[in-house]
A = this chain, B = another copy of it.
Amino acid sequence: MTKKFNVSTPSGFPEFSPKEERIRQFWIKTIAETFEKYGFQPITTPLVEREENLIGKGGNPKEIYALKRILDEDGDKSHSGNTLRFDHTVPLALYVARHRNELTFPFKRYAIGPVFRGERAQKGRFRQFDQCDIDIIGMENLSIANDALMPAIIIEIFQKLLPNNDFVVRINNRKILKGFALNFGIPEDEIKAFLDILDDLHKVGEDEVKKRFIDAGFNKELCTKGMGFFKFTELSEIQSFCDNEVFQEGIKELETVIQTIEEMGVSDKNYTIDLTIARGLDYYTGTVYETNLIENIELGSICSGGRYEDLASVFTGKTMPGVGISIGLTRLLSQLIEANVVQLKNDSHLDFLFIPADEIATPRCMKLAQQLRTTGTKVDVYLEKKKLGKKFDYADKIGVRYVGVIGENELKDRVVQIKNMETGEKEDVKESEVVNFLKS
């Protein structure tokens, strides 16, 4: 009978058992609390948006899931065109379009929750995954100083979540790269191709990038005079490298961002200028960020983002620039657990377990458990009819440290026999003293 059903999870859709779920919840809580300290407010948009809106903002129809009822015989049209969101950015654009008259700009929101992409199933790729995003949206303008908040936030979050791992936020400005490309005679419509090649520099190395530049037909000077450029990490060293306006604008913006981060008192151990950071996504137009774990470069960027000029004009007719970052939580945590950077904890879910040795002691156990709960303690009573040994087996399996046994004698004497499951020590504790015993 059981053979008829394949009970495994569908490919790409993750499941979190208690140990993973606890870490996931701790990460979400830490990330959300940090976002809030920097003035971001939570919004939760629907998991479902209209198909035309997702496609209208550049969604890939091969990756977007549409909803269709298995049996749709009542012909209720209101179900059609419903699609699962593939990120938090398009829903933000729609949210701002819906509420622009009530919102106060700059509008700072965070969004944490699942998004869906119908990608080909493969190891480490999820079709449902949690993303944690913040964005600051301006009405027509948004001061460049906002861009300095992002590295500070990334650094605070990962100092809390990965206190034993060195990481670095790499910061660049796409205007610098654009100005650089123009300087080497790359036409506007080939800058995207240039950035895409450059984006792989850390991954494939300098020689391969040079080869790809030549294959793309770019100016050979790029591979001689040009390549040295990307090694610099001080603005003073590159300030006069190109004199076109967009390059100089990028330099000035990056300078402001770096100076502001310094002024905030953020340790410079955790951020650097990296002129190779390009970010694949088209819509970034200024500051860009990536974050790497020093000892786990192979994981790629663990938190990325950037500045964009136009969040939602397609929906609102208004130009709203923004800056934001995103943490791909599900994928990141799964990678970190696999790389043993994050360890699952074996802590029991209980602080205390009562075991009634005889059924007659169950009411007393239930009463004392209820009293302990009022102090915030996580308590359970083993209620099944089993032999005492089996009851202790249960306590062993769930890994609870303290077990309180009550049998006829304890009932009469109004005591609990508390056993430390690690040391095996036993002690009779007065019923009224159990709370204090657990505190100490």
Task: State the CA gap A313–B7 with chains docked (Å).
Answer: 12
Chain B residue with Cβ nearest A106: B384
Which residue of chain B lies nearest to A74 when distances are taken between CB atoms in the complex? B62
Per CB-CB distance, the 8 closest pairs between chain A and chain B, nearest first, are: A39-B380, A13-B46, A263-B363, A61-B70, A61-B71, A18-B41, A16-B44, A65-B67
**Residues in chain A within 8 A of chain B (CB atoms):** 1-2, 4-18, 21-22, 24-25, 36-53, 55-56, 61-74, 76, 78-79, 81-84, 94-95, 97-99, 104, 106, 108-109, 114, 116, 118, 120-121, 127-128, 138, 141-143, 145-146, 148, 152, 156, 259-260, 263-266, 313-317, 349-350, 362-364, 366-367, 369-371, 373, 376-381, 383-385, 394, 397-398
Which residue of chain B has its CB nearest to the CB of A32? B25
A6–B98 CA distance with the chains assembled, in angstroms: 10
Contact between A98 and B7, CB atoms less than 8 A apart: yes
B residues near A146, Cβ cutoff 8 Å: 383
Contact for A317 among B1, B67, B121, CB less than 8 A: B1
Tell me whether A66 and B67 are in contact (CB under 8 A). yes
Known: A104-B394, A383-B143. A349 touches B78 (CB 8 A): no
Query: Among the listed B11, B47, B52, B128, which residue makes an inter-chain contact with A128, where contact means beta carbons less than 8 Å apart?
Result: B47
Shortest A403–chain B CB gap in Å is: 13
Q: Is A378 in contact with B39, judged by CB distance below 8 angstroms? A: yes
Q: What separation, in Å, do the CA atoms of A363 and B256 have in the docked complex?
A: 10
**New contact pairs (16) apart from A7-B97, A10-B46, CB-CB < 8 Å:** A1-B314, A2-B315, A6-B53, A11-B78, A13-B48, A17-B99, A21-B43, A48-B128, A74-B120, A76-B121, A142-B384, A143-B384, A146-B383, A260-B362, A265-B367, A265-B370
Q: How far is the CB of A132 from chain B (nearest CB, A)?
A: 14
Contacts of A71 in B (CB 8 A): 61-62
Pair B148/A366 contact, Cβ less than 8 Å: yes
Give every chain B residue within 8 A of A371 (Cβ-Cβ).
265
Choice from B1, B13, B21, B121 contacting A47 with Cβ under 8 Å: B13
Inter-chain contacts of A11 with B (CB < 8 A): 78
Docked-complex contact B378 and A36, CB < 8 angstroms: yes
- Contact assessment for B37 and A17 in the assembled complex, using a CB-CB cutoff below 8 Å: no
* A37 engages B385 (CB within 8 Å): no
CA distance A376 to B160 in the complex (A): 13
Question: Could you tell me the distance in whole angstroms from the C-beta of A43 to the nearest C-beta in chain B?
Answer: 6
- Sample (12) of A-B pairs whose CB atoms are under 8 Å apart: A1-B317, A2-B97, A7-B315, A10-B81, A12-B78, A13-B82, A17-B99, A18-B43, A61-B70, A62-B71, A68-B68, A156-B373
A99–B17 CA distance with the chains assembled, in angstroms: 10
Contacts of A52 in B (CB 8 A): 5-6
Smallest Cβ-Cβ distance to A369: which chain B residue: B264
**A16 to B47 Cα, complex, angstroms:** 11
* Complex Cα gap A82–B117 (Å): 13
* Chain B residue nearest to A119 in the complex (CB): B76
A373 contact from B37, B263, B376, Cβ within 8 A: B37
Nearest chain B residue, comparing its CB with the CB of A259: B363
